[in-house]
Amino acid sequence: MSAVVTRRAASGAPWRAAWRAPGGSMAWLIAGGIALAALNLRTAVTSVGTVLDEVSTGLGMSGATTALLTTLPVVSFALFGALTPAMSRRMGEHRLLLTAIVLLAAGQAVRSLVDSAAPFMAASTVALAGGAVGNVVIPTLIKKHFPRRSGAMTTVYSTALAAGTMVAAAATVPVQQAAGGNWHVALGVWAALAAVAAIPWLALRRGEPERRSTPARAAGESLLRSRLAWAVAGYFGSQSLIAYVMFGWLPLLLQDNGYTSGQAGVVLAVFTGLGIPISMVVPTLATRLSGQRPLVIAFAALYAAGFAGMLTGHAMWAWAILVALGGGTFPLALAMLALRTRTAPGTAALSAFGQSAGYLIAGAGPITFGLLHQVSGGWALPFGLLFAALAVQVVTGWYAGGDRTLEDAGADGASHLRV
């Protein structure tokens, strides 16, 4: 009997050891799985935006339903992101990420096949739920498997995320045109990409140790009393608000200042594409600093200069580039999730809280910006919203960028995290 037990333990030992400290081919497989998963986290969002008119017309959506579809991503990211830690404790991070990828693939596949609004919205919610879970789980996996290389792996994560965002935005319309104007095909191809992303996690799934049932934790309640957690959430939310406003309103702003729709599209493509090289640099740079306050101020200065320049109405493409460079706040916010925690459970709790609260903050941005533009008939008043968000970003980023961790929150007067 003991020999059998010994053989069983030996057969499982390499896998279990690999989860604690991956190396060699195992590390590459996990890193590749993270990159492929990240590549898919925004495709369900940006692919729809480029063919929104065709989808809403084809499905007979009302204006209210179309507006709901555009706000569904931030609502889903906030809601399902908040539920992720509890699911992770039950399933384990690897199985949960595999489930998230399956939801992404299934949701996008189903919505590409339906011909009415209600099932399309339901399938979109399923896909977005998968993206929301992935948003929270991946930083935890990075902290768990690459604690000494979190900067490099956050670079991989944020770069893949930016690349997937840009590719889905840029390629959906050409795919639609190649399919004879069929938006169903244009949306369905992204389900295939998600299916590919599931392959590494199917291979890795058998090696993850079984989860033991554990009582619910009070981490969420602790974070509600943590100034550091709220600072991270405020920083994440303010940068997301600015990003969503720019993605939604930059083309119209450009056209109001004399650009053709084609020229505006080129500027938007460059604006989006710059996120890739920025994501390749910022996390590693942030990791090398003991505190990230210099980066917080530098990106805020780029935003401020870009916003002020846009209000002049001249050389809009140049100011748009400055704002795009200021968008380094996104990979910086992702890096802070690992830098402000010492443990994988701490990263999981901060990732869920920071992203969920942050997306709730960001969700009101594009709608409020549009209402201010409609009421004022110009751009000065809505840009006041962006400058206000920037002020919040500086205050919260200054606090979140300090050299402290969530688990040691008692040192700055807030409650300790218990996970």
Res 286: pLDDT: 93
14 or 260, greater pLDDT? 260
Torsion of CA 175, 243, 143, 157, to 10 degrees: 30
Residue 214, pLDDT above cutoff 50: no
Q: Looking at residues 81-94, what average pLDDT do you find?
A: 88
| pLDDT interval class at 207 (50, 70, 90) | low
Q: Does 47 have pLDDT greater than 80?
A: yes
Q: Is 184 exposed, middle or buried (0-12, 13-18, 19+ CB in 10 A)?
A: middle
d(CA 300, CA 381): 19
Asked if residue 208 has pLDDT above 80, the reply is: no
Whether the CB-CB separation of 46 and 169 falls below 8 Å is answered with yes
Q: What is the pLDDT of residue 409?
A: 58
pLDDT band at 209 (very low <50, low <70, confident <90, very high): low
Structure confidence by residue, pLDDT tens digits, 241-276: 999 888 888 888 888 888 887 788 788 888 888 989
Work out the mean pLDDT of the chain and round it to a whole number. Answer: 85
Looking at residue 370, its pLDDT comes to 86
Query: Is 50 exceeded by the pLDDT of residue 411?
Result: no
Q: Check whether 5 has a pLDDT greater than 80.
A: no
Mean pLDDT lowest among 39-48, 76-85, 199-208, 397-406 = 199-208
In angstroms and rounded to an integer, the radius of gyration of the C-alpha atoms of the chain is: 22
Distance CA 166, CA 23 (A): 31
Q: Which pLDDT tens digit goes with each residue over 347-401?
A: 888 999 999 999 988 888 888 898 899 899 899 999 999 999 999 999 999 999 9
- State mean pLDDT over 300-325: 95
Residue 419 predicted with pLDDT over 60: no
High-pLDDT (> 70) share of the chain, %: 88
Domains and CATH numbers, the chain: 25-216 (1.20.1250.20), 219-412 (1.20.1250.20)
Length of the chain as a residue count: 419
Which alpha helices (H) appear in 43-182, and where do they start and end?
A: 43-50, 52-58, 63-91, 93-111, 117-145, 150-178
Q: What is the DSSP letter of 23?
A: -
pLDDT at 346 over 50: yes
Segment 58-86 shows an average pLDDT of 88
Average pLDDT over residues 283-305: 94
Q: Which of 156-165, 166-175, 297-306, 399-408 has the highest mean pLDDT?
A: 297-306
Minimum mean pLDDT range among 29-43, 71-85, 315-329: 71-85
- The predicted-structure confidence for 23-41, as pLDDT tens digits, reads as follows 567 888 899 999 999 999 9
Q: Say if CB 404 and CB 411 are below 8 A apart.
A: yes
pLDDT (mean) for 158-178:
90
From the CB of residue 257, how many other CB atoms can be counted at a distance below 10 Å?
15
In the predicted model, what is the mean pLDDT of residues 53-77? 87
Percent of residues, the chain, with pLDDT higher than 90 = 51
